[in-house]
Each structure stands twice: as C-alpha cells, then as structure tokens.
Amino acid sequence: MAVGRDSYLDSILSGLPCGWEEEPRAETRPTGHFICEIVLVVVLSINNFGIPVLISVPIFFELNLDKLNFAGTTEIDYMAQKRSDDTNVIVFFTDQQRWDTSGLHGNPLDLMPNFDRMAQQGTHVHKSFTCQPVCGPARSCLQTGLYPTQTGCYRNGIPLPSDAKTLAHHFRDAGYATGYIGKWHLHDQGVAGPVPKERRFGYDYWLASNVLEFTSDAYQTTLYNNDNQPVNLPGYRVDAVTDAMIRYIDVHQNEPFYLFTSYIEPHHQNHLDDYPPPDGYRERYTGKWVPPDLAALGGSTHQHLGGYYGMVKRLDEALGRLLDALKSLDLIRNTIILFTSDHGCHFKTRNSEYKRSCHESAIRVPTALHGPGFVGGGQIQQLVSLIDLPPTLLDAAGLPVPNEMQGRSILPLVRGETDGWPQEVFVQISEAQVGRAVRTQRWKYGVDAPDKNSGRDAGSDRYVEQYLYDLQADPYELTNLIGRESHRAVADVMRERLSRRMVEAGEDAPTIEPADPIRSGQRHVSSEEAQA
C-alpha cells in the first residue's frame, strides 16, 4: 500500500528523540538541571516518487527546573549564548580628539581603520559634539547626563557634588559589575592621583588617576587601585591602559559589566607642551595632510600635528585590540561599545591653547556605537550632543532613563524616528571665556560675557554677540559673519534658539546684545535660509 506524504512524515517524526535526561558528565550539576535535545527536521525537497528528502538538526539546551514559572513560562539558559539581559557596556573615551582624524570624515592617512570599520558595521554619529569643550566639565556631563551648570562642574578642578548620580550608580543598581580605568578629572583640583572611595561615584573596580597627565608620561604610567596604592604599568601609556581594560573584561566575562575606560591620548603632555606618540610614529605623519582650518590659521600645527596623529593611530590600534578580545571571548555580540571624546583640538588657532572655544575644531568629536541595538544602524545625520550619550547607554541596555537627565537617547534616530529631535546643539564654554553657542545644520552662533571672570563665573545674565559662521559655505569657519547686515535675520533667529536652549538647560534667560553692524556688499540671505 502506498504511503501518503502526511502519514510518511508522521511516521518519521514519531520516531525522533525528544525529551530530557540528566547530563551524563562526571562533574556535579545542580539538582533540577537537565541537558535537553530537540531534533529539528527540515524538508529539503520531494523526489520523483513522492518521498520527502529530510535533514535533521539536533539542538541542545539547558533546562533549569528550579526556574520554572508555573504561570506558563520557563526560563531557559541556552548553551553557548548569552541571555539578552546580559548586555555589557564599554565606553572607549579619548581626550582632545578631533572628528576629522577619522577616514569617515575625510582624513586620508588611515589613522582609524578600526573605528571606521566599527562605525560602518554599527552606528556612526556623523555630527557629534561636546556640550563643554574642556576636560572636567565634559566628563561631568557624560557621567551624570547633566549640563555643567547643573552639577556645578563648569570648569576644571571642581569635583562632582557628593549627591551626584552617575551612570555607574544606575548600572550597579541593575546588577552590573562596574569598573573605571584611566583619567577621572572629577575630584579636587589639588589632587593629581588617588581618588577616595567615596568620590568614585558607583565604580566598584578602580584603576585610575584623577589627573592622569600629571601622574604619568608617554612611557611611564601610574594609576591607583581600589586601595589607592600606586600601580606602575609597563609599555606605552595607551597600551598600558588597554592591557588593564582587557584584563578586566576577561575576569568579568561571565557577568554583565559596565566598564568606562578613559585615555589621556591624544591630549598634550602638559609639562612638555607636546604630543608624544609611540617611538617612530611622529615621523610617519609629520608633514602629511593638514585640515584646512589648521592650514589656514597655523598655530602650533606644524610642531604638533605629526605627534598628535601618532597618538590617534595608537588609540585606534587599541580599539582593534579591544574588538579582538571581545570576539575571542564570544562577547562581541552582546557588548555595547561607545567610542567618543570629550572635545577636539584647534592647536592654538582660536585662542592661546587647544580647546575652550565654540569652533568645530574644539567641539566636534568622532563618535560611533556598536553592539545590541546599533549593528546596522547606519549613519546618523542629526546633530547629537555629548549630553545625549548617557541616556542612550541606559536605554540601549534596557534600563530606565532618569527624568533629570537633560539629553535624549539616540535609539529612535537609529530606528529612523527623527520627529521631534532638536534642530540644534547647545554648548557652554568656560576658562578661556564665559561663552555660549548654538549650532544648527547650517549656522554657528556664539556669544561672550565680557564682564565675567572665566575661572570664577559659571554664567552671566548679559552676553554680546561674538561669532556667526555659515557652515555650508565655510565649513572650517574662516569668515566670521557676526554683525553683517546681510545676516542680521540669521543672528536674530540664532539668538532666539540660544536663549531657549539656555533656559532648557536650567540657566536664566539672558540679555544678548547685538554686534555692531557691518556693511555686507553683495552678500544676501533669504528668510528660509535664516531658519536652516
């Protein structure tokens, strides 16, 4: 008698093994734990005699009966696969790195192939900006999700307030191991190295220095451990910090962890006023490609850019080592990696040092994310601020974002949901000046408080217009249009944007005095362009 197709399949399936039994291993397994096998049968085709061609695939998993939920679900730990709630988070944080060190931003020297690859495979934040272009204040923003005028950390040397809530607190409360390696710069001004336990704000593992540039050099790295004992690490400083990072990941690979690694590179070495790269790296890049703003304005570019590029190259090699380590430990698919920097570097072209200005060279930074929620995210063209990154990390890890955080998660942008996203980023500036700025896709507008002390005053109720740049026609900000009669409408729109953003950040609404008018010749801006 011919066998029908359905009855034939039934006869095959009825003989397949399906069930569980205690795993036949010598080592002890907790009571109630079973290794189960399910055989998946796939019909590849039906031959000329009406007989299906089958392939069977065994699937093994571990069943923990102690975790049965008799309301109707079972918690299953699949072998060789992390649970979704075990997402790790790593912040790879550099210091004073320009956005255009990346090939994705036009640098032709192949300084950052690992960053470029990670950004292309994950999510590249194409227009990423700090909200405060100086070390300590920027770090306070990234740790707390608050603007520096809210935490009080508006300049270097002001510690986080004792009641501040950081990312480490939020991750630790959710069951994560928390670790910090590298430069902190959020403790008292007079302390270069050790940071007391009560001033580490939720980071349980500690191998850091308050002001790393003062306790180390290119080939001499001293950090301080949980007991505040000095630890001297061998090798070039980037490599020493990277070694410590990989050791931490290896030790904590079997539990969810949040690790913040803060490099000093490519920040200058203060006591030398130089950018010391690994031996041989300065020579590779001296006399090579120079960004247009630096080529036009000079500053210390020709003295320092070769060493700076060499430091950037070694940082990218460290990023490659991190990615390799995660891949070898089978953690790459369940680890969120954020690469970003605290601010950029203008090489003494905008003031007497390297940052603390509203120009792109000081505020625009390279930023990319990889891991759950970000793989295949593409390139984000919206304007993203450093203040948006803390809520992004919490959101991506499935944790609630506190209402007090002043930024927004970028995950909606990754999903293509752009409605309601701010049309500008807001920047507070200290130390070199008491300044404020706002940037849209096309325009940059900056103001200064001439009556205030930049080291003593966090803000002002009175500002004077200082800068206006057309980033479409002048992306490297070589022509200041402030006061031009042709651009008065633009300045008026930007003044309103700035005032609104200052109030949203918790500042008082300011008085902003217009710049003295300047005749414009043939320049003209339409009302539509003024709103861009």
CATH number for region 433-530: 3.30.1120.10
- Backbone torsions φ then ψ of 273, nearest 5 degrees: 50, 55
Question: Which long-range contacts does 523-529 make (Cβ < 8 Å, 24+ apart)?
Answer: 523/481, 523/484, 523/486, 523/487, 524/486, 525/486, 525/487, 525/489, 525/490, 527/489, 529/442, 529/490
The answer, yes or no, to whether residue 496 has pLDDT greater than 90, is: yes
pTM: 0.84
The answer, yes or no, to whether residue 213 has pLDDT greater than 80, is: yes
The answer, yes or no, to whether residue 20 has pLDDT greater than 50, is: no
Q: What is the DSSP letter of 532?
A: -
Which two three-digit tokens encode residue 191?
A: 């302390």
Instruction: Select the more confidently predicted residue: 520 or 71.
Output: 520
pLDDT, average across residues 30-58: 54
Write the CA distances from 360 to 99, 266, 294, 322, integer angstroms: 9, 17, 12, 29
How many CA atoms within 13 Å lie on the side-chain side of 220?
Answer: 6
The continuous run of DSSP H or E covering 345 comes out as: none
The pLDDT mean for the chain works out to 88
What is the predicted pLDDT for the residue at 2? 42
What are residue 127's DSSP bridge partners?
A: 383
What is the predicted pLDDT for the residue at 50? 57
What is the predicted pLDDT for the residue at 44? 55
pLDDT, average across residues 249-276: 96
- pLDDT tens, residue by residue, 69-99: 333 333 323 222 333 458 999 999 999 999 9
- pLDDT tens, residue by residue, 361-403: 999 999 999 999 999 999 999 999 999 999 999 999 999 999 9
What is the predicted pLDDT for the residue at 465? 98
Q: How far apart are CA 291 and CA 107, in angstroms?
A: 8
The answer, yes or no, to whether residue 23 has pLDDT greater than 50, is: no
pLDDT-based confidence at residue 275 (cuts at 50, 70, 90): very high
The answer, yes or no, to whether residue 286 has pLDDT greater than 60, is: yes
DSSP symbols for 374-423: TTT-EEEEEEEEGGGHHHHHHHHTTPPPPTT--S--SHHHHTT--TT--S
pLDDT-based confidence at residue 293 (cuts at 50, 70, 90): very high
What is the predicted pLDDT for the residue at 294? 97
Write the CA distances from 123 to 154, 205, 421, 508, integer angstroms: 30, 29, 17, 36
Which two three-digit tokens encode residue 129?
A: 């900006």
Instruction: Select the more confidently predicted residue: 41 or 141.
Output: 141
Closest CA to 442 of 77, 79, 127, 24: 127
What is the predicted pLDDT for the residue at 4? 42
What is the predicted pLDDT for the residue at 236? 98
Q: How far apart are CA 226 and CA 180, in angstroms?
A: 10
CATH homologous superfamily, domain 84-414: Alkaline Phosphatase, subunit A (3.40.720.10)
Please name the amino acid found at residue 107.
Answer: N
Q: How far apart are CA 463 and CA 456, in angstroms?
A: 16
What is the predicted pLDDT for the residue at 56? 57
Which two three-digit tokens encode residue 517?
A: 């008018």
CATH 3.40.720.10 boundaries in the chain: 84-414
Total number of residues shown for the chain:
532
Q: How far apart are CA 337 and CA 36, in angstroms?
A: 34
pLDDT, average across residues 92-117: 98
Closest CA to 286 of 267, 270, 308: 308
| Number of other CB atoms surrounding residue 86 within 10 Å | 16
As to burial, measured by CB atoms within 10 angstroms (0-12 exposed, 13-18 middle, 19+ buried), residue 375 is middle
What is the predicted pLDDT for the residue at 48? 57
pLDDT, average across residues 246-267: 97
For β-strands 462-470 and 443-448, DSSP reports them as: antiparallel
Q: How far apart are CA 262 and CA 135, in angstroms?
A: 11
What is the predicted pLDDT for the residue at 192? 82
Lowest mean pLDDT among 160-164, 192-196, 494-498: 192-196
The answer, yes or no, to whether residue 276 has pLDDT greater than 60, is: yes
What is the predicted pLDDT for the residue at 174? 96
The answer, yes or no, to whether residue 189 has pLDDT greater than 90, is: no
Lowest mean pLDDT among 155-159, 249-253, 486-490: 155-159
What is the predicted pLDDT for the residue at 53? 57
Write the CA distances from 179 to 140, 175, 345, 389, 469, integer angstroms: 17, 13, 28, 18, 41
Cβ-proximal residues to 81 (8 Å cutoff; 6+ apart), any chain = none
CATH 3.30.1120.10 boundaries in the chain: 433-530
pLDDT-based confidence at residue 159 (cuts at 50, 70, 90): very high
Lowest mean pLDDT among 27-31, 130-134, 225-229: 27-31
